[in-house]
Chain A
Amino acid sequence: MPHYPCQTCHISRAQILRPSTGTRLCAPCFTLAFETETAATITSSSLFHPGERIAIGASGGKDSTVLASVLQTLNTRYNWGLELVLLSIDEGIAGYRDHSLEAVKRNAEVLGLPLKILGYEELYGWSMDAVVAQVGRKGNCTYCGVFRRQALDRGAAVLGVRHVVTGHNADDVAETVVMNLLRGDLARLGRGTSLVTGTGGAEGGFASVKRSKPLMWAYEKEIVMYAHHKRLDYFSTECIYSPEAFRGSARTLIKNLERIRPESILDVVRSGIDMARLVPGAGGEGGSGSLRVEAIPRDAEDDTGGGCSGDNGEDAGGEMARVEETLRLNERAEEEGTETEIRLPAKAVNGQRHDRDGLHTGPPAAALPATVNGQNHDRHTHIPDIAVVPIRTKQEKKSGRKTAGDNLPPRQRLGQCERCGYLSSQAVCKACMLLEGLNKARPRTGIEVGGAGG
């Protein structure tokens, strides 16, 4: 079979058929094109500023490995003056991260970048293995997601970094779009399809850490090809606790579409962005200053990375849904200025919650039950369920805080988590909420480990 010549240099034999354009390129022309396009994504959106410190969320997998390599290459080539560091999270799943972290270490050495590894064990006193032993395999992804998000934030703070980049690619984003559509969760489209999220938090806190995905327009296929032809050192692994059922189906759909019509992937991403703009109150394409920093949606958005399906609540069953609802209520109460602290109940059933004695005496009781029923504060409650507009109901139910955040001036009071002392806009940070539940149940196992809150 005759070989095609490269359509850029017209000399070498073509080795890559680009899914986005159908162009046939040789390996050197392809890697250059890939880098140039990533640079265009970055510069056209002014993603970085000169001298900015950037933490690269590094899992040792293909995406973050390619991201680190490309950013380092571009930083040198274009003299961006960025200070790049690698940030890895060790969830503490025996046999899962070991090889990946070894790959990260080798990459740090090759690229000459500093590396910070943070483990759940040291951060929270609970490795994921221990969490799973405690709560079982159902719903453990929620713990992992909340812990990882905070771990990245804490790691960023430790490193003095305000911007974390992740390796999410176009296939990841397309999968997330499809999943959000299949769930009827249009409110999350904006976050999942945004280049930058998490801006607009309070100054100085870990909540103000910005997140972006510079490879969100890059095909997974091209990322793999880039890694292959640049001989990058990475290790692929999937979480042994993650059944991946739902995301797996979305992924199969996307991959099948790609085979028939490769442009489909970017088209789904674009459609996701366009639809996000149409969702009332969702703020459209992200990066707008009004976006509040929302840990739970961020966790959901992030679930495409790090080898974790982490479909919060999807496979979690009712109990995790309640835990998450409790977290949401806590944040919403915070916005309302009611300053209620909600203890994570061992059984948070039927909206029964106990205000903490003494410390906070706000009037939360009126606001909280309303949100339990999926009604929004903006409506001043008491609107019967029949009267609500369907699309808003869903959206508000899923991301009521975002809506509230758009309408109300953010009233974040930065303080410290009273448990772990970490900067937090709430009295007790999310990780500590989950930890409380874990630690309460712990005596049953007969194992006692002190200082779980870190």
Chain B
Amino acid sequence: MIDSIPIAVEFTRIQSKTHRDSPVASGGLELLFSNQRKHQVALPASNPEGTPSTVGYLVKWLCENLIKDPRKEMFVLDDSVRPGILVLINDADWELEGEEKYELQANDEIVFVSTLHGG
């Protein structure tokens, strides 16, 4: 545990609804993560290259460890968060914090907000 940092991850405003048939036609991020909105994760404090863990690494780590669903592309496209998903780092736009390069601190709160269509 000494090598990991606790991070709160939340997937918010993500739909969950009936999957009538094709699961591809609908679905949201929450569904990819066991239908659970809030997750408390213990992220390795550094990535395999030995550098401090960043949000970019968290995203990769979530894909490898938390996603229970094969449709990872709903969350990640081309190795980065899918365009249209907003990321908040401690309630601030991640664009203000260096985006994927932000180095995570213990007890940081990371929120992934879907901007799914349908207003």
Contact = CB atoms under 8 A, between A and B. Distances in A.
Q: How many interface residues does chain A have, given as a range?
A: 35 or more
A33 interface: no
Contact of A13 (B21, B92, B114): B92
A306 B118 contact: yes
B83 to A, nearest CB: 4
Given A16-B93, A24-B96, A63-B119, A236 B86 contact: no
Interface in A147-192: 167-169, 172
Given A17-B95, A172-B119, A255-B83, 11 more contacts: A3-B92, A14-B92, A17-B93, A65-B119, A221-B115, A237-B17, A244-B25, A252-B83, A256-B83, A305-B119, A309-B117
Contacts of B17: 95-96, 99, 237, 240
A224 B25 CA distance: 22
Max chain A C-beta neighbours (<10 A), residue from B12, B84, B98: B84
Interface of B: 12-15, 17-21, 25-26, 28, 83-84, 86, 88, 91-93, 95-98, 102-103, 113-119
A251 B86 contact: no
B96 A224 contact: no
A448 B75 CA distance: 45
B113 A251 contact: no
B116 A238 contact: yes
Given A15-B91, A169-B119, A236-B14, A259 B83 contact: yes
B96 to A, nearest CB: 5
Interface of A: 1, 3-4, 13-17, 24, 27, 59, 61-65, 94-96, 99, 167-169, 172, 220-221, 223-225, 227-228, 234-240, 242-244, 247, 251-252, 255-256, 258-259, 305-309
B85 to A, nearest CB: 9
A28 to B, nearest CB: 12
